Amino acid sequence: MGSPFQNIEGAVTAPRGFRASGIAAGLKPSGAPDLALIVSEGDAVGAGVLTTNQVKAACVTYNQKILARRQPLRAIFCNAGQANACTGEEGERNNAQLAYWVGEQLGIPAEQVLTASTGVIGRQLDMGKIQAALPQLVENLSTEGGEEAARAIITTDLVTKSIALETEILGYTIRVGGIGKGSGMIHPNLATMLAFLTCDAAVEPSLWQQILKQAADLSFNQITVDGDTSTNDMLLALANGKSGIPTIQPDTEAAQVLAEMVNTACIHLAKAIARDGEGATKLLEIRVQGAADDAAARQIARVIASSPLVKSAAFGNDPNWGRVAAAAGRAGIPLDSRRLEICLGDFLLMQAGMPLPFDRQAASEYLKGDPVIFTVDLHQGSGQGVAWGCDLSYDYVRINAEYTT
C-alpha cells in the first residue's frame, strides 16, 4: 500500500501513557467480556464524532456536554451489553452515575470520563452488576490491555477490530491506536458502531476535533451494512502528548501527517467493520472518481455500497453493472450518464454510458474473491471518494428476522 506508517502491536495501549482493560460484568448472557476502560496517565485532549440519529442514547447526550466543555479528559468507559437508549431520565441519571463511579475508582472528576454503550435498548442498566465489576476493571488496567478492551466492546461481531500505527513527526515517535466494533445485533436492538482512538501526540484541541471529524468522513461515514444508523454510534479520541512532541498546531506539516495517520487507522477499522457486517461473505469497495468534487464522489460511492440490489448481486457473484449504474444515478448528484464508466476489478463493464462485452465467467470468478472492487468514473471532474460495504446474504435475513419474542 505504500503507507508511510508502521503497523505495530498494542491497539489503544500502543501510544505511550495509556492503559486499558476489559472484563465481564455479566451483562451479556454469554458471559463474554462486556466492560472496557481506556485511561490516559495524564490530561488528554478529547474529541468526538457522535451519532446524528435524533434518538440518542444517554451516553451520547452526556458526551456532547462533556466534549463541549473543551476541558482535559482522562478516560473512556464502555459497556457492551445494554445500550441505555430509550430509557428516559432514569437512563440519563444512570449514565452520569457510571461516570461518577469510574471517576471515583480512578481518583479523577466524573467530567473527565467519556461513556459509551451498546446492546439491548429500552432497558435500564443493571447498575449493580456494573458497580460490582468496576474495582476489578480498574485493577486490570495495563499498558498491554488494548486487545482486552477490543474484545470487551464487541457484541455479535465475529472478530475484534484493532489497529496501531507509528511514525516520526519532527523527530518524535508518534503512535495512534484504535479499537472498534461494528454491525453486531443484540435483540431487540440495533447495530452500533463504536470506535475509540488514542494518540500520544500533543495536539491543539480544535485541530484534534477537526482531524477526527475529517477521518470519520473518510472512513466510518463511508461504510454501510444496511443503511441503519444507531442511537449509540460514536467515535471518541484522546491525545495525551506523552510522546513529548510540542503541541501540533493547525496548518502545519505535522498536522497533515498526524491527520493522515488518523485517517489510515480509521479506514482500517471501518473496513474491518464493513467486512464483518451481518451475514457478510465479502467486503465491497466502491471507488468513485471523476466527480465534480470529493463530497459528490463519496456520496455516490455510499449509495452504491448500500444498494440492496448491488449487494445481492455481489452475493450471487453476478457482474451486474446495470445495478451499479442505476445506484450511481439515484445518489442525488448530477451526472452525465453518457460518460459513465464502470470497472469491476480489472474488467471494464461499461464505457461512455453503454455496456461493453466482457468475459462474464471470469468476472463472476473475480466476484467470488474478497474484497470486490467496483470503480466508477464520472469523467466530469477530479473529485474522488471510496465507500465500503458488504454483500447481502441469506444470513443477513436470518440474523435479523430471527424470532425473538
CB 99 within 8 A of CB 77: yes
Quick one: which H or E segment has residue 238? strand 234-239
* Residue 65 sits in the site that holds a second copy (CB under 8 A): no
Report the amino acid identity of residue 102. V
* Residue 1 sits in the site that holds a second copy (CB under 8 A): no
Distance of CA 95 to the CA centre of its chain: 22
* Residue 352 sits in the site that holds a second copy (CB under 8 A): yes
Among residues 307, 343, 347, 386, the one that binds a second copy under rule CB under 8 A: 307
Is 404 noted as a catalytic residue in this protein? Answer: no
Which range of residues in 109-117, 134-142, 164-172, 386-394 is near a second copy by CB under 8 A? Answer: 386-394
* Residue 68 sits in the site that holds a second copy (CB under 8 A): no
Among residues 32, 41, 43, 53, the one that binds a second copy under rule CB under 8 A: 53
Cell digits of residue 306: 448500500
| CA-wise closest residue to 54 among 13, 98, 8, 85 | 85
* Residue 297 Cα distances to 56, 232, 396, angstroms: 29, 27, 28
Residues 78-117 that bind a second copy (CB under 8 A): 85-88
Under rule CB under 8 A, how many of the chain's residues touch a second copy?
73
| CA-wise closest residue to 378 among 349, 358, 351, 345 | 351
Among residues 173, 214, 337, 380, the one that binds a second copy under rule CB under 8 A: 337
Distance of CA 84 to the CA centre of its chain: 20
Binding mask of the shown chain, residues 254 to 293, with x at each position contacting a second copy by CB under 8 A:
----------------------------------------
Binding mask of the shown chain, residues 181 to 220, with x at each position contacting a second copy by CB under 8 A:
----x-xxxxx-----------------------------
- Which of 192, 224, 264, 375 is an active site residue? 192
* Residue 326 sits in the site that holds a second copy (CB under 8 A): yes
* Residue 251 sits in the site that holds a second copy (CB under 8 A): no
* Residue 322 sits in the site that holds a second copy (CB under 8 A): yes
**Interacting residues of 234 by C-beta distance below 8 A, sequence separation 6+:** 48, 49, 50, 51, 59, 60, 63, 116, 193, 194, 195
User: Residue 126 and residue 367: Cα distance in Å, rounded?
Assistant: 45
Question: Helix H segments across 119-252?
Answer: 127-139, 146-152, 205-218
* Residue 348 sits in the site that holds a second copy (CB under 8 A): no
* Residue 2 sits in the site that holds a second copy (CB under 8 A): no
